[in-house]
Structure 1
């Protein structure tokens, strides 16, 4: 059943405010700070820390926030991702500190893993101290994030590998950001700049988990269902925008428009079934560590299916609204740009190949694959 918090009138009103103000932050250098203040005041920054949400409930909440504003949904999903990694790999003491950051101080977390040739290295400098060198790209939220989870190559003599760390931004040197890097088609308000962490110094308590934990399965690939949920929210918002536009023109009785509305609606609803199934099955299979490959494969299927759903909804919506509907200040143009950009996630072809590998190597019937 849906979370009572997610379904409450309070949250419905909050999402409406986020949607109504989305156009005000549709800019490469403007972060939707007010939206995150509202999310914090509603208790949504720490909801996974304070409520026993099932994964299916979390996915539906991510979808609703994505429907209100995809850029807000993207940053919020990164926040939830960081909290999930903390739950998996932090010590009890670290969990207490970082929980207080969220609950008491409304600090935003995120996960920044993407980098180019000048990526991050973490150097051991002695006495439990570490110094960072290098940059990350696509840092969603940029310097508006107070607790970024940054990955890098740990260069210690007795401990090496891909290491997570969480940077207490108010206690380190200023982190330069390159906002010229960020000139995207859409998702402008996610302000995903390039940041240079060279010279940032951390303590042992700022390191999260052990080298290699970040890429552990099923948590790494299985997390794709979260961004897929936000994407589906964008498709749902497109359908809502189409319906509102047609209603304003008194065109909802047109037979061809009704056919397109019907197809878009069943496509989005099929995405809801994917989210609910992926969430329920993930929670079920996580209790059996033998099911790691199954969780990853099902998440890959849900991610791929929702991408295809969005790609089918978008041209149907375009035909429905025509050229006039693609003009600002109507919301359709912004949502379409944001969703187009956000759908471009890493390694889509490898994801499909991995699904095929799992099915080809399975020793059970297709009927039994996902039971």
Structure 2
């Protein structure tokens, strides 16, 4: 038995990974844990949010250029898809970091736990606004959250105590002050953290501003959540995949179209796009950072601590991401659209991240 494990260890060391070995079968036969060996050329694998991906990619390129480690691989899967991949297991071939544009859900933590992943480090990296953007030259929009809900919800109050299928075809149908422009919104799919945040902050926030819908929250919270966050699927909303660049292209082709995206993508395309005002506030760096812009959120990445001895460089990558020249007010990530945490938050998050304190360990 010992000789078998020794041979496997040598095989892993030579090959960096072991596509020919069924580790689960070895574990079942020997009772010993799977054997992994770190290889110096093993790349950090990062999955998850399309909104956070540009920041991770920039840090990865910088890290690869200045360190002894290879440049990490960043894959855009959406926040939900990222956690699904992240929670598959422990090992050098598994993702070590998952980007997220919302906090991890309890169900995702449980998925990880079932795969033996019990030490997850949460790092909040900054803020982002969710914007409703359209092409420059298209009509200006100043929307309330309630108007967003009334435009995009699958069902809305019928005015007689019941519910009806959303009848609104144009923005002017929703409110007289809005342009007579067809409702046509391109947005991220259900696997996206941007979609989750939009549903919670804009749709649910708008539902709470409508008395008939808000009253439902008091009597049936589950039904309220369903009514508030279920987006109409009659052609007025189009899932555009985990690619904000594709949404930008759609907006350029159709001046009537509106796109849901993170502020960073708007900021990178200000020569072509403009963002709708939300309740009189425009989506700018300053307004989001101050908390005045009404559809904003925190962004995160999550580290699989159990992969630290298996994939070289993870701690160095985390250190590079959380140093002031990267995520500070004058750091290179701000140029990519990151809205920094406060100085106090940055210091606390960096110390927490460098200490690799798993979620729940300091509570």
The TM-score with structure 2 as length reference comes to: 0.24
Larger radius of gyration: 2
| TM-score where L is the length of structure 1 | 0.24
Q: Tell me which of the two structures has the higher relative contact order, counting C-alpha pairs closer than 8 angstroms and 6 or more residues apart.
A: 2
